[in-house]
């Protein structure tokens, strides 16, 4: 068998069988091995994404995005991507799904599809079907894909922990303020805290108590889920709430750096240290040295320390008491 015929250009990388047939593709062409069938009635070109370099959270989220996009050709006019699938497409932080062997392959996780109103729910392998109330649901369009608005998606996830809800809320509500070296200054946030509150109050929600608790803990200047989670742990332990992404200057007005979390009056900085490229690591070493030379106590939170919140909290508490 020779090389398969090119597909009609208007089909793109993901398409329904019906659209392909209408565009002139034959049923035999749609059975060729260069096409995948991620869902019944859908075909996609077999371009394998290399996700191996990503950390487990990013790898699982990236796979969920791929899988959600592959479902799009099946969406009816009264349907949209919701819950975790919507969050994945917005690029928001998702809790890592694990089983006894470790992180689950994101391609094996369900795509969340909601039907607005009384229409027929989806019945398909690999799909988690939901019914959405038009009175408390807002639908957005992102890159041509119908999905829950950020506020609606957040409010759909009341089954999550308060910690994860806060991290997602921080991501959606980040205000891109000005400051030395900051990018995307003035960029519009994906949501506001008031919009999240409105989504909670618009109707019945799963986990309403968790949603109400979480929305009061969301802040607008967190730059990463780890920063959000460190702040959450410190507050939950009864420690004062730290400032976020605090700009530090020396006595001569020279900018020393922006620290992840800070207690400015006590000159305590808390820095989360992710896996860094060598050049960034070198810059961070110099920045932290300058902060310490200026009299700041710098607490560095590694991934190992982050996984032991009691130890992390104790380290910050002792610094505050010193």
Other Cβ atoms less than 10 A from the Cβ of 250: the count is 14
Distance CA 106, CA 289 (A): 40
Which pLDDT score is estimated for 178?
Answer: 87
Q: Higher-confidence residue: 86 or 52?
A: 86
**Average pLDDT score over residue span 243-262:** 94
Least confident of 26-35, 236-245, 271-280, 304-313: 271-280
Rounded-to-10 torsion of CA 217, 218, 220, 221: 70
Among candidate residues 89, 74, 48, the one with its CA nearest the CA of residue 129: 74
Is residue 321 predicted with pLDDT exceeding 70?
yes
Average pLDDT value for residue range 6-15: 83
Domain ranges of the chain: 9-45, 56-221, 228-321
pLDDT at 60 over 90: yes
Confidence of residue 137 (pLDDT cuts 50, 70, 90): very high
State the average pLDDT over residues 230-253: 96
pLDDT attached to residue 155? 98
Closest CA to 59 of 110, 105, 19: 105
Tell me the average pLDDT across 236-256: 95
Please report the pLDDT score of residue 273 as a whole number. Answer: 87
Q: What is the pTM of this model?
A: 0.90
HSE (side-chain half, CA atoms, 13 Å) at 148: 31
Q: What is the pLDDT of residue 53?
A: 75
pLDDT of residue 110: 97
List pLDDT tens digits, range 200-235. Answer: 999 889 999 999 999 999 999 999 999 999 999 999
Q: How far apart are CA 94 and CA 292, in angstroms?
A: 34
Q: In the predicted model, what is the mean pLDDT of the chain? A: 92
- Most confident stretch, 10-19, 187-196, 285-294: 187-196
- Give the confidence band of 275 by pLDDT, cuts at 50, 70, 90: low
Helical axes 162-173 vs 225-236, angle rounded to 10°: 130
Mean pLDDT of 259-275: 93
- pLDDT at residue 6 greater than cutoff 90: no
Specify the pLDDT at position 2: 63
Fold of 228-321: Endonuclease; Chain A (3.40.960)
User: Tokens for 207?
Assistant: 């986990």
pLDDT at position 8 is 84
Determine the pLDDT at residue 100: 92
pLDDT attached to residue 25: 82
Dump pLDDT digits (tens) for 66-95: 999 999 999 999 999 999 999 999 999 999
How is residue 253 written in tokens?
A: 């007005």
How do residues 98-118 score in pLDDT, each as one tens digit?
A: 999 999 999 999 999 999 999
Helices marked H in 115-177: 150-155, 162-173
């Amino acid at each position: 068998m020779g090389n398969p015929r090119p597909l009609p250009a208007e089909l793109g990388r993901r398409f329904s069988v019906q659209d392909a047939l209408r565009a002139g593709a034959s049923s035999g062409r749609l059975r060729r091995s260069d096409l995948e069938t991620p869902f019944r009635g859908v075909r996609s070109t077999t371009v394998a994404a290399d996700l191996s370099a990503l950390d487990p959270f990013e790898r699982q989220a990236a796979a969920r995005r791929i899988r959600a996009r592959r479902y799009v050709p099946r969406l009816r006019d009264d349907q949209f991507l919701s819950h975790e699938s919507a969050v994945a497409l917005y690029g928001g932080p998702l809790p890592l799904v694990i089983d006894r062997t470790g992180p689950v392959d994101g391609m094996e996780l369900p795509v969340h599809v909601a039907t607005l109103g009384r229409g027929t729910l989806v019945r398909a392998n690999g799909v988690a079907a939901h019914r959405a109330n038009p009175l408390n649901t807002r639908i957005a369009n992102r890159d041509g894909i119908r999905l829950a608005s950020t506020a609606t998606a957040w409010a759909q996830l009341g089954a999550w922990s308060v910690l994860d809800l806060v991290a997602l809320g921080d991501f959606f509500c980040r205000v891109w303020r000005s400051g030395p070296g900051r990018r995307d200054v003035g960029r519009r946030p994906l949501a506001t805290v008031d919009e999240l509150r409105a989504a909670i109050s618009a109707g019945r929600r799963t986990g309403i108590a968790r949603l109400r608790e979480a929305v009061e803990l969301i802040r607008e200047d967190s730059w990463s889920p780890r920063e959000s989670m460190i702040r959450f742990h410190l507050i939950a332990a009864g420690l004062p709430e730290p400032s976020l992404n605090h700009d530090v200057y020396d006595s001569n007005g020279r900018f020393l750096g922006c620290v992840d979390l800070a207690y400015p009056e006590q000159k305590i900085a808390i820095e989360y240290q992710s896996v860094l490229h060598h050049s960034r690591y070198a810059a961070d070493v110099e920045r932290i040295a300058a902060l310490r030379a200026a009299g700041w106590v710098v607490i560095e939170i590694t991934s190992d320390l982050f996984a032991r919140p009691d130890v992390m909290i104790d380290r910050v508490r002792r610094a505050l008491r010193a």
